Amino acid sequence: MKMRQMSRLGIATVIGAALAMVGLLVTTAALSWHVDDVAATPTTRPTTRTTTTTTSAPPTTTTTTTTAVPTTTTTAKAPPAAAVTPAAANCAKPAFSTSEADDGWSDGDYYVQNNMWNASDYKVSQKLAACSAANWSVTTTADDDNGDGAVKTYPNVHKDYHDWDTGKEPPLSQYSRLTSTFAATSPHTGIYNVAYDIWLNGVPGNREVMIWTDNFHQSPAGDRVAGGLSFSGTTWDLYATDDNEYLAFVPSHTLTRGTLDLRAFLDYLVKNGHVQSNSTLGQICFGAEVVSTGGKPATFQFTDFSVTD
């Protein structure tokens, strides 16, 4: 019996030992599983890094937004700069303004130009503002300190007949009617004239026909070759150079606005041998030839211009 009991005890001991071993194995396996779980935690960090990347994106967006604001602010400051140039009547918000030499702006069939063709050798500044081809102004500062009487600038509005791509021009005879309306106010300081400038046979061509409407201490080139000519209800004198390349009609009194029959002026020149009958029409301009403003800013305002052909 004792042996059996001992055997049972031994068996129990063995079984107990076996159970202890199983418990140890289970515990070890459980511990091994937790270590893997902890080791797996870093795999979730890319998600955290993704969040970090997402977080870094807003600064990029913020930077872009911040950059846009100064641009808008700069644009908003532009109107005061344009306002430095006095606008023409009823032109409080110019569609175009410039102080750059020969810069210009198209408005339908017309082109407004800050023409400073002879200013490079002189101290000249000029600012132009335009609401339309029939409503613009220019402020010029120039002097005649060296006394040569040279025209420095001719800010103007014009209509082109010259094809700048092909160089072709329509024959003058093609137009049975050429009329134009105009209106201008000048500063009455310095030396200048307000005038039409019509180019024939090229731009510039071999004939420049000017029709003055206002004159302040200015004299045309050439000699007076005819007087008492009547066109569009006004009496005119005609000046011409020996080669007839420059021709100028000067009125007996200042004209600030009106309608001129340009065709009648040109017909007279053809009839009297100053212009060839087969001439072509290049350009019709209206503006101010400025010699001097006495060294101080002076403003010319243009409040009407049209050409009917």
Task: Find all residues with CB under 8 Å of 258, minimum gap 6, and list them.
Answer: 181, 182, 183, 213, 232, 233, 234
What is the band of 89 on the pLDDT scale with cuts at 50, 70, 90? low
Cα–Cα distance between 22 and 24 in angstroms, integer? 5
150-195 confidence digits (pLDDT tens): 999 999 999 999 999 999 999 999 999 999 999 999 999 999 999 9
Between 236 and 39, residue with greater pLDDT: 236
Tokens of 136: 């613009």
Cα–Cα distance between 204 and 296 in angstroms, integer? 30
Supply the pLDDT for residue 91.
Answer: 86
Q: 258, exposed or middle or buried, with CB in 10 Å at 0-12, 13-18, 19+? A: middle
Average pLDDT over residues 106-126: 97
What are the structural domains, with CATH classification, of the chain? 96-308 (2.60.120.180)
What is the band of 87 on the pLDDT scale with cuts at 50, 70, 90? very low
Tokens of 195: 């005038």
Q: Are strands 205-216 and 156-160 parallel, antiparallel or unpaired?
A: unpaired
Average pLDDT over residues 291-296: 98
Supply the pLDDT for residue 184.
Answer: 98
Average pLDDT over residues 274-303: 98
Supply the pLDDT for residue 293.
Answer: 98
Average pLDDT over residues 228-240: 98
What is the band of 92 on the pLDDT scale with cuts at 50, 70, 90? confident
Average pLDDT over residues 115-143: 97
Average pLDDT over residues 277-288: 98
Are the C-beta atoms of 275 and 285 separated by less than 8 Å? no
Cα Rg of the chain (Å, integer): 44
pLDDT at 200 over 80: yes
Cα–Cα distance between 290 and 149 in angstroms, integer? 10
3-31 confidence digits (pLDDT tens): 333 444 343 443 444 444 434 333 333 33
Q: What is the mean pLDDT of the chain?
A: 80
What is the band of 88 on the pLDDT scale with cuts at 50, 70, 90? low
Cα–Cα distance between 18 and 66 in angstroms, integer? 74
Tokens of 18: 């076996």
